[in-house]
Structure 1
C-alpha cells in the first residue's frame, strides 16, 4: 500500500510539471531581459521646493535636509502596503482627532505623529506603549489618563488624543517650536532640551540627536506629503477603498455595570461590537467605584453595513484639506 501511495505522488508530480510546461510560455534570456526593462521601473520620488510643518519652515535649501526627506518618502512610497493601510484608516480616524486638535490650539500636522507611532491602530509596542498615541503607563497617568485593570484610556481615541494635545502644548511652551515638540514626543522634553542647551542650538534641523529621533520628523513630513498628494506618489484610491467614519450613539455611564455582555445586548449590539468600539474597557464589567462618568460609543443602527458606510465617505483628495 505504501509503495502504491509513493508511486501515486510521483505520477502526480510528473503530471503537474508537464501541465505547467505545457501551459506557461517559456521565455528566453533575451525576451526575459526585454520584458524586465520594459515593465519594471523604479522612479526617484519627487521632493517639493517648499514645505512647512505646523506653519514652521522646513529648510529644504540644505542638501542634508533634502536627502533625509528623500529617504523617508522613498521608504513610505515603496513600502507601499503599510502606507496604503494608514491612508485608508486616516479617513475614519482623522475626523475624530481634528476637532480635538482645534480645541487645544494644536496644529493638525501633529496628527501625523499618530500615523507613524501606531499606523492608527491600538497596538502594543515592545516597550509596553499602548494605543494610537503609544503612551506608556507612566506617561499616560502623568497626562491625565486612567489606567487600571478595568479601564485603560490609552485605548480611547478621544481621551488619548486629548492627552497627546496637552503634551504637545506643554512641549511647545517649553521648547519654543512645534517641530521640536514633535521630536520631543519621541525622545522626551528633557532629552531634547538638554541637546538644545549643550549644543546651543534651537533649530531641530541643526541639532545632533540620536538616529531614531533625527529620522522622526522626516518620517512625519514624508507621510504629510504623501497624504496631501497621494496620486503624486503613486497611491491611487477610490472612495470605496477608504474606511468610512462610523456615526456613533453615545451612552453616558455613571454607575457600575456588572455584565457588559448583557449591557451590549440591551443596547442592540453584541459584546464584540461593544469591545471593538470601546477597547478601553478591559474587562467584561465596569465596577466604577468612584461613580465616574464614562462615555460608551456604539455605531448608529445600520452603520456596520458596508453600503451604508459608503454614504459618509468623502473624496480621498478632500481628506487632508484642513491640514
Structure 2
C-alpha cells in the first residue's frame, strides 16, 4: 500500500513538472511570436512616406516644369527635406504668422509677387542671422548690395536688420533683376548668385530661363526650395504639421517715436522711456551699439512697446 502511494506520488510529481516545463515553453514561444517592443522593426512603429509631388506647382505665376526629370527630382528633394525636418518646419509656421504681415504689404506696394516672401524664409528662416560670407538680416543682404539699395550700413547703424527697410531694399533689387533678365525666377536666381554671375551663365550656356540653366548647387536649389516651402506652409495638415492658433508667434504691439539727436547712452535712454536696453534692442535690432552717433541730425524712427 505504501509502495503504491509512493509510486503514485512520484508519477504526480513528474506530471506536474512536465506541465510546468510545457507551459513555460509555450509562454516563451508566444512572447517570441508576439515580439517584444524592443524586437520590432522600425517600420512597424514609425513610417517615413514618400511624397506625391503636386502637378500644378508654380512660383510667382510661372509654372514649375515637373515633366522635366531633373526638375521633378529637385522639387522632390526640397519637399522631403523640409517636410521631415519637423522641428524647423514648426518654427517656420510660427514665425511666418509673426512676420509675413509685415513683409506682404511691402511686396504688394512694390509690385513684387507675394511668393517672394518665401525668399526671406529660405534665406534666414525669418531671423536676423549672419552668413559666413557676411550677409545679414532676414533678406541676407551683403553690405555693398544694401548700400546700393539705400540702406545705412556702418558699425553704429545697420539697416539690414531693419525688417521694413531691408524688405524694401530686397524689392528694389528684385525689380531691377526682373527688368534685366525678364522673369521672376531669373530675378530670384540673380538674388542668390548675383546679376553678373547669372549674366555670365546665360551668355555661356545660350539659354535664358531658370529651369534650363545649369547653375551651382545653391542656386540650383533656390527656386525649388521656395516652391517646396510655399507648398508646405500653405498646406500644413497635408504634410503632417499640427498646431493651434495660440501656438503661433505674434508681433508685440508697438508705437513709434522720432529721434533726430545723438543718443550717448541707449541703456539710459531706454530707462527714460520706461523700458530697458534689451527691449529697445529687440524692437530695433538695427541699432548696433549702445549709442546713436547721428552727427548729421538724421531723423530716425524707433519702435517701443505701445503700453509705454
TM bucket by the smaller chain? 0.7 to 0.9
1:196-215 to structure 2, matched below 5 A, reads: 196-215=202-221
The C-alpha deviation readout for 1:137-190, integer Å capped at 9, x for no partner, is: 122112111111210101111111110010010100001011111111110111
Task: List structure 1 runs of 4+ shifted beyond 6 angstroms.
Answer: none
TM-score w.r.t. structure 1 length?
Answer: 0.82
Displacement of 1:240 in angstroms is 1.2
1:60-139 to structure 2, matched below 5 A, reads: 60-139=66-145
The C-alpha deviation readout for 1:201-238, integer Å capped at 9, x for no partner, is: 12111111111111111111111111110111111111
Stretches of structure 2 that go unaligned for 5 or more consecutive residues are 1-30
Displacement of 1:197 in angstroms is 2.2
Question: Aligned pair 1:256/2:299, yes or no?
Answer: no
Alpha-carbon distance change, 28 to 241 in structure 1, aligned in 2, over 3 angstroms: farther
8 Å contact kept, 1:251–1:295? yes
8 Å contact kept, 1:87–1:227? yes
Which structure has the larger Rg?
2
- Separation in 2, partners of 1:193, 1:28: 66
- Separation in 2, partners of 1:144, 1:127: 21
1:163 is matched with which residue: 151, 158, 169? 169
Displacement of 1:35 in angstroms is 6.2
- Number of the residue aligned with 1:153: 159
- Separation in 2, partners of 1:235, 1:49: 21
8 Å contact kept, 1:92–1:246? no
- Separation in 1, partners of 2:213, 2:41: 47
Question: Aligned pair 1:241/2:247, yes or no?
Answer: yes
2:187 is matched with which residue: 175, 181, 186? 181
- Separation in 2, partners of 1:234, 1:90: 17
Stretches of structure 1 that go unaligned for 5 or more consecutive residues are 1-26, 303-323
Aligned length: 276
- Number of the residue aligned with 2:21: none
